[in-house]
Structure 1
Amino acid sequence: MLKIFCITMLGFCFAGVSAQNNLSFLNDTFSGINSAVISPTQPFLSPNPWDSNLLSADAFLNNDYAYISSESILGLRNATIVTANPNKNISGENQSDVLDFYNKDKANLLFCSDVLGPSFSMSARIKERKYVFGIYSRLRTQTSVLDLDNYFRFNNERVSEPNDYTFEPVSGTVMNWGEIGLNFAKSIFPQSEKQWIVGVNVKYEIGLDAANIIGKNLNLISSEPTLAQNTNKRNIYATDYDLSASYITNYNFQSKRYEYKQNGSGIGLDIGIAVIDKDRREEAYNYKFAVNVLDIGYVNFKKGINHVFKDGNTIWLQNNPVFENRKFESPEEFLQTLSTEAYGDANASLQDSGFKVGLPTSINLNYSQRIKEHHYLNINWIQRIPVFANSVKRNNLVNANYMIQKEAVGFGVSASVSEYKDFNFGGYFRIGPLILGSENAFPLLFNHKHLHAANFYMAIKLYPFWDNEMKRHRRQKCDCEK
């Protein structure tokens, strides 16, 4: 069972770099439908009568288990990465381009990608009240492993594993899914001095791939190998285990191809409310405060495969000829082999089909203050609040950004704290249909002693970015006497 933890977690870490949404741009009043995914009320503030997104992509990775020494994201294209080896004096602390490990007692990984496909929103006035309607398509990937008991640190440091080691409970979840969302926003309380806006996203979730590992109990015993075994590794045995592994994927391990099909479905909901202080005759506001609850819901994978390992025989994990130097062709082959070791039957661990994965539920509080014309200061606080069991989890984030936004051009700088400990700096730039940004820009361009996190945002939009309130006013029909 140690091997399945290792394979899964390392696969999560280095599968790629994916979403912390770019809050700098999404606080821009011209972000339109793009901002609906983080605040359902924000599209209401767009001064444009319509807005469309052709494609946007957001990528975020943060972990404190592994890093690459003295590198940048762009520099990885031409780098030759080697793995740390204390026996050969290869370490990330003394040379560059080394995949090395922090070796803390606990390890964490938060990874997500967010691709917003063709999306559209429009505003309409019905009985003198403004309404905003939108539809968007979205492809999301998210992985969360928090407080993993880092047994791997012993092997990383080339020290002997303890004779007896008990894992603390742990869980890890990854999900890849599509989303079709309907956005609706309108003003409420028309008699109030402030403008109140309510917004909602109703989302159809399309489950593609998912995996969930839950370790309630696991005890590992190690002993010295015999002369006939690999003397560089101690024998490791799993006892007193209570673990479950569930997965489903579109990857065909025989043809080595990804074959798209829907494996799960669900419903999601985002809700938000905002209060705005503004002159009703002006588009710009003095301040805005919004509360949003995001990603309430789950995806049901009815044909998901479940394996449970509990109260079985002692499993010989390391130095076992059954596992050593064997290439497993699929997760199922590995799990069946593990079941044979635990129960003498390849299918004994297989349970009934189906499992659910909760969406990465969070609360987003936003405050925006106009400093002067076109200049705004924004503060966002996002806190994960998992609602359903086996939920993927997003990163906790506090973000402050200062921006200048006009019809055709917008730009800003930001500072953020991820997981209340990692400080990042970035910003965004918008010119016409193109938006580029990052909430953690330095690792993209500059070498970092410990490269372990990154973020990038890109969007291509169509909207009347050469339009403004004065031009729209001039186009209106005049009822005055000639």
Structure 2
Amino acid sequence: MGFLTDNYSGVHSVINNPANIVDSRFKTDINLVGVSAFAANDYYAVNFNDIFDDNYDIEDDAKKFPKEKNNILGNIDILGPSFMFNINEKSSIAISTRARTFYNISEINGRTFENVTNDFNENQDFAINEGDLFSSVHAWAELGVSYARVIMNKEQHFLKGGATIKYLQGLGNAYSAGKNVNLNYDADGSLLPSGDRVGSVQTTGEVSYGYSSNLEDDIDEFEMINSANGIGLDLGFVYEWRPDYEEYTSTDSKGNSYMPKDINKYKFKFGISLTDLGSINYKDGKEERYDITNTLNENTFNDIEIDELEKFYTVLPSAETNTAILPTALHINADWNINQKFYVNLNGDLSLTAKNKINRSRIANVVSLTPRFESKWFSFYSPLSMVQHSGFQWGAGLRAGPFYVGSGSVLSALIGSEMKAADVYVGLKVPVYQSKPKDKDEDGVLDKVDECPDVKGPEENFGCPWPDTDGDTILDKDDNCPEEAGEVDNGGCPWPDTDGDTILDKDDNCPDVAGPIDNGGCPWPDTDGDSVLDKDDNCPDIAGTVANNGCPEVTEEIQKTLNNYAKTILFDLGKSSIKKESNQALGDIINILNEYPTAKFTVEGHTDSAGSNTLNQRLSDSRANSVKNYLVENGVDKFRLSAIGYGEDRPIATNKTKAGRAQNRRVEINLVIE
């Protein structure tokens, strides 16, 4: 108990489940020798400390619990030279040698056992209804060959199965059974020829016993029976749930995955197995059967030897061949990995051989809960178990490299006063553990999948450093142009010049159309389509002439039109205020001026010669500014206009006639030529 739940039990793990040896923590494991002994009963209970007393007698001093159906069973198991090793990652084999002995006494009436061992109480009548009882002892050796294989390894789910086929060599077998056995003791029942009166024993029912041929004579003359052999079989499966499988998985550039072999990968493990399917045929075995219906005096009954039963009882037909059934059992195991060092195991061992049938060995049904500390070189476990016929047991065990020792009952024996079961195991082995995966360059990528095991590199590049083929300081993994030197800002590619205008696309506002540097790589526009580019066009939104820097030119005809309108501007007599009837002419003037937004004009005021020169000068200035102000107030840029009065100095007609003077009283709007 305990040791077989350890993931480092190695070749021993085939004992309960042959599937355990594959995906093992061992490269190979060699057992030199191991001994295990187990005994359980519900009749005797002893105090552990008392058994070391030289005067202690189990018959007299042990506490007894006689019942109608008491049971005793036990076994001794010697595991001889055995080994397991891995064929490859998916397959393992093991070869094991064992010598085993099982003994069972089933459903014996405790009072029968008590009276037979202590002789009869001569002063008291009693009757025992024994009913059916069975006992057996069987020893054999076996050579087992185990094979286990990984059946499924799919991400979180891992399944393996295994089988052991065993050649069985019988070493000896004996059994007995009773059917409807009854015993009545009459203390005054028989009168001897001497005149003395002794008790009488009346028995009814059938009894039988059998034995292998090598037990027919003195046990000291034991011989191997060549004809006693058989075949045994163990079958098992183990499922592992591996929710963190990605943490354990490494993959090389070819997609081959690898998991380290030196650690457990599961969070939960469940195993189920059938062991000891089979039997041994003792071809030369003997069986004796008797009808024991008879009444004998007490002295005669006590002196009967087993080979003298035919003198007192009726011999019944018996068989010449005996088949000894192995202790077939079902094992269910669940193991929870708390972390990589601590585990909790729940295990159940259930006998599948009936205890009320002839010549069958069986195990005790056991359920155990085992907390465990586990590492490569050392493990410690403390199983808490419920053992059939014996109740609660608490034990401890350890494995230290090649040495293992333990007991499933040692602690409960030390602290309890009624020990009904005991077991112990001890052994020596040669473990060869799976080595820790190597990482020579310490880059976190195992050498097994590292394509550059001597140089550090990231896992994404399978342990190799990322190259920079074009030497542009951008690693190929991030370089969109790994074979052509480029710029960091452009993902490792050189910036293109799509339109060939010598301006790189990253700086070119018009990367698909050639343009000058001064305009950010875009061609200069000519918004008004006058063939003067906007950059040189003083009137980019109005078509003009090249000679006038892209602005429309004021022609003589336009100039004439302006002045024709200007001549119609009327003022109040002797004043500079403009009459309302001049608004239409002024509006036309404004429209013309807006067509030439960059042209500058002078508003000139003129008078006739009537009046003083000073008065005429003042009046012409005032009227010129009055027109200018009107034009500015109605949207003409004031910086385009200037106003000046010339008085009577620039007549265009004679002042001697009325018609001439009327022509001289005028306003002109003239283009300023720069």
TM-score (norm 2): 0.58
Residues of 2 paired with 1:248 and 1:308: CA distance?
15
- Return 414-423 or 135-144, whichever deviates more: 414-423
Which residue matches 1:425? 394
1:439 aligns with 2:404: no
**Cα offset, 1:50, TM superposition:** 0.9
Q: Aligned partner of 1:223: which letter?
A: D
Q: Are the equivalent residues in 1 in contact too, given 2:202–2:293 (CA < 8 A)?
A: no
Which residue matches 1:386? 353
Q: Which of these residues, 55, 59, 71, is aligned with residue 37 of structure 2?
A: 59
Distance 1:441-1:164 versus aligned 2 partners, 3 A rule: closer
**Cα offset, 1:143, TM superposition:** 1.3
Residues of 1 paired with 2:7 and 2:86: CA distance?
14
Distance 1:257-1:80 versus aligned 2 partners, 3 A rule: farther
Q: Are the equivalent residues in 1 in contact too, given 2:209–2:289 (CA < 8 A)?
A: yes
Which residue matches 1:316? 296
**Cα offset, 1:274, TM superposition:** 1.3
Residues of 2 paired with 1:168 and 1:192: CA distance?
57
Which residue matches 1:247? 211
Which residue matches 1:35? 13
Which structure carries more relative contact order (alpha carbon 8 Å, separation 6+)? 1
Aligned residues: 425
Residues of 1 paired with 2:102 and 2:114: CA distance?
28
Which residue matches 2:104? 144
Which residue matches 1:13? none
**Cα offset, 1:39, TM superposition:** 1.1
Residues of 2 paired with 1:349 and 1:335: CA distance?
15
Residues of 2 paired with 1:364 and 1:210: CA distance?
26
CA RMSD between the two structures: 3.1
Q: Deviations over 1:274-309 (max 9, x none)?
A: 111222535312110111111111111111110011
1:360 aligns with 2:327: yes
Query: Secondary structure at the residue paired with 2:22?
Result: helix
* 1:257-296 mapped onto 2 (5 Å cutoff): 257-262=221-226, 264-278=228-242, 279=245, 281-282=259-260, 283-284=263-264, 285-296=266-277
Q: Are the equivalent residues in 1 in contact too, given 2:351–2:363 (CA < 8 A)?
A: yes
- Return 285-294 or 221-230, whichever deviates more: 221-230
Residues of 2 paired with 1:255 and 1:370: CA distance?
50
Residues of 1 paired with 2:402 and 2:297: CA distance?
55
Q: Aligned partner of 1:438: which letter?
A: S
1:237 aligns with 2:217: no
Q: Deviations over 1:222-247 (max 9, x none)?
A: 222457589897321223x2221111
Q: Aligned partner of 1:393: which letter?
A: R
Which residue matches 1:329? none
**Cα offset, 1:443, TM superposition:** 6.4
1:118 aligns with 2:81: yes
Distance 1:481-1:398 versus aligned 2 partners, 3 A rule: closer
Q: Are the equivalent residues in 2 in contact too, given 1:117–1:136 (CA < 8 A)?
A: yes
Query: Secondary structure at the residue paired with 1:303?
Result: coil
Q: Aligned partner of 2:13: which letter?
A: S
Task: Decide which structure has greater helix share.
Answer: 2
* 1:10-21 mapped onto 2 (5 Å cutoff): none
Distance 1:254-1:439 versus aligned 2 partners, 3 A rule: closer
Q: Which of these residues, 282, 293, 300, is aligned with residue 301 of structure 1?
A: 282
Which residue matches 1:82? 57
Q: Are the equivalent residues in 1 in contact too, given 2:439–2:453 (CA < 8 A)?
A: no
Residues of 1 paired with 2:329 and 2:124: CA distance?
38
Q: Aligned partner of 2:32: which letter?
A: L
When Rg is computed on C-alpha atoms for both structures, the one with the higher figure is 2
Distance 1:255-1:304 versus aligned 2 partners, 3 A rule: closer
1:189 aligns with 2:152: yes
Residues of 1 paired with 2:18 and 2:130: CA distance?
41
Which residue matches 1:480? 452
Distance 1:315-1:411 versus aligned 2 partners, 3 A rule: same
Residues of 2 paired with 1:233 and 1:67: CA distance?
34
TM-score (norm 1): 0.79
* 1:336-415 mapped onto 2 (5 Å cutoff): 336-343=307-314, 348=315, 351-386=318-353, 390-415=359-384
Query: Secondary structure at the residue paired with 2:364?
Result: coil
Residues of 2 paired with 1:160 and 1:138: CA distance?
51
Which residue matches 2:430? 462
